[in-house]
Amino acid sequence: MRALPTCRIAACAIALAWVALLAQHSFAQPPSHEDDVVAERLRSLEIQMLQLRQGEFVFTRDAGFERTPVVQDVGFRSTHWCTGCDQPLASCVCAGKPASGFPTVKVTGFFHLDAGFYNQDAANRATLGDIEDGAGFRRARLAATGNVTERTSYIMEFDVAQAQARIVDMWMQFKETPFGNVRIGRYRQPFGMTELTSIRETPFLERPSVFALSPFRQTGIMLFDTALDERMTWAASGYRYLSDNFGNVYADTGGYGVAARITALPIDHGDSGLVHVGFDYSYNDPGRDEVQYVSTNEFFVGQNPNLGPSGLDFLPIVAVPPFVNTGVMPTRRTNLFNVEGAASWGRLLVQSEARWAQVELTDGTTNTFPAAYAHLRYVLTGETIPYNRQTGSFGRVKPAQPADLACGYWGAWEVAARVSYLDLNRTGVPGPLRPGRRLTDVTLGLNWYVSDHVKFQLNWIHADLDDPILGGSQAETYAFRGQVDF
């Protein structure tokens, strides 16, 4: 292919022809047959130049101008062949081929601005103490994400809202390998439908209390993919356990875990109607032989109580206390089981999960902690609740028309209700450091999706708490959130 030299030759020919014409006119020579020939040749050259620029022809020495398909220039040309796909390198799609445009970087982020007000009965105040009202940033995250090759991506995400900056997600990912997609770093483990629903897209302010029995974010390596035309997902992960907020584990007595998840759509009519089922399992041998499960009433606010030099806050923080708490348990291993079920009909969704944590203590005894939730979502304005076939989870509503009150548009509105249950009572006598307790939450929610990137949420949470010593108590929470993401 010699398109570039041909363009130069044609351009020179056009320039010389115009010079000749100007010379003829400057000497006032009368028109002749040669003038017509030159003009015709110029028109022919102009047409050929246009065709060259559009990629329709190439010039060869033996065959003149020949038609060839348009090929996008990706910054790599060679007459050699790729041994991986047996294609010319100019059209090779194998990973690792030099190409323009990489690496890419996209900045993304979001924040949650929350406010909450508590109303406790006397028994609940005696059990938990006085829970103070609060407002503040629950999350404030910034991330850089992109690709370093066509099949290699990355993310680096940090949260600066609670106490100190910490790593949220930080991983590299290789897609379409012989083993499926491969992710290495710190990421959400494949366990639980609610865990794999982005916190940006949850219909309530926080995940349900079953979240306490999850390995969630750990540092490791995961294989995952879809199957059966995206009607099934599978994932398997191995990781170090239990990592800190920076993805680090420092322990040689255990410190390993595995998690696996499989989901399917036995009924699939798209987002207008489908049924989701799934099963999850996780085995963990905790580093330093310690495990602790805790949960609030599905809402959290807090503040650093002390001020250091120049007014900078430092740990610890004072915040909503745990409603249920196993205390630190000397643990050999844990086995976590979870089952998922959901059904959607366009604007209506019913979703539920149930899980059990079997904890084998170092003294040989075993404790089993059950948890479950069910929630209902209904979009008042008629939009569909989307299903993410890559993660096997449901997303947030996108308004058909973003809110514009001046024009009479109100965005999308959704109502939601949830019941959740978590029992963290252990065998033996409870104490101040291991109170256990059983929590049942009932939550009603109203969500206003102003646009694809702005939403407001209002939750009313009724908590029914059962303490094995102090008995039952109740608390109510009125919570509000504003979210912006980009």
pLDDT tens-digit series, residues 354-385: 999 999 999 999 999 999 999 999 999 999 99
Task: Give the whole-angstrom CA distance, residue 424 versus residue 367.
Answer: 9
pLDDT in the model for residue 6: 45
- Cα 242 to its chain centre, rounded Å, is 22
Q: Which residue has the tokens 């030759």?
A: 9
Task: Give the whole-angstrom CA distance, residue 241 versus residue 250.
Answer: 9
pLDDT in tens, 241-255: 999 888 998 888 889
Among 72-81, 159-168, 333-342, 441-450, whose mean pLDDT is lowest? Answer: 72-81
Among 85-89, 301-305, 400-404, 456-460, whose mean pLDDT is lowest? Answer: 85-89
Band of residue 20 on the pLDDT scale cut at 50, 70, 90: very low
pLDDT in the model for residue 50: 59
Task: Give the whole-angstrom CA distance, residue 465 versus residue 335.
Answer: 26
Neighbours of 275 (CB within 10 A): 15
Q: What is the dihedral of CA 68, 74, 80, 86, to 10 degrees?
A: -80
Tokens of 26: 């400057």
pLDDT in the model for residue 269: 97
**pLDDT averaged over the chain?**
85
Does 68 have pLDDT greater than 50?
no
CA Rg value for the chain:
32
pLDDT in the model for residue 414: 98
pLDDT in tens, 262-317: 999 999 999 999 999 999 999 999 998 999 999 999 999 987 665 555 544 444 56
Which has the higher per-residue pLDDT, 179 or 56? 179
CA distance readout (Å), 194 to 117, 126, 214, 350, 375: 25, 32, 10, 13, 11
Global pTM reads: 0.79
pLDDT in the model for residue 148: 96
Mean pLDDT score, 413-424: 98
Among 39-43, 126-130, 253-257, 325-329, whose mean pLDDT is lowest? Answer: 39-43
The proportion of the chain whose per-residue pLDDT surpasses 90, expressed as a percent, equals: 70
Among 106-115, 157-166, 438-447, whose mean pLDDT is lowest? Answer: 157-166
Task: Give the whole-angstrom CA distance, residue 204 versus residue 219.
Answer: 27
Band of residue 87 on the pLDDT scale cut at 50, 70, 90: low
Q: Are 258 and 238 in contact (CB under 8 A)?
A: yes
pLDDT in the model for residue 304: 66
pLDDT in the model for residue 412: 98
Band of residue 82 on the pLDDT scale cut at 50, 70, 90: low
Q: Is 441 exposed, middle or buried (0-12, 13-18, 19+ CB in 10 A)?
A: buried
Band of residue 25 on the pLDDT scale cut at 50, 70, 90: very low
Q: Which of 189, 168, 182, 185 is nearest to 336 (CA)?
A: 189
In CATH terms, 106-485 corresponds, of 2.60.40.10, 2.40.160.10, 3.40.30.10, 3.40.50.300, to: 2.40.160.10
Does 57 have pLDDT greater than 60?
no
DSSP for 87-152 reads: SBGGG---TT---TT-S--EEEEEEEEEEEEEEE-HHHHHHH--PPPEEEEEEEEEEEEEEEETTE
Convert 24-52 into a string of H (helix), E (strand) and C (coil): HHHCCCCCCHHHHHHHHHHHHHHHHHHHH
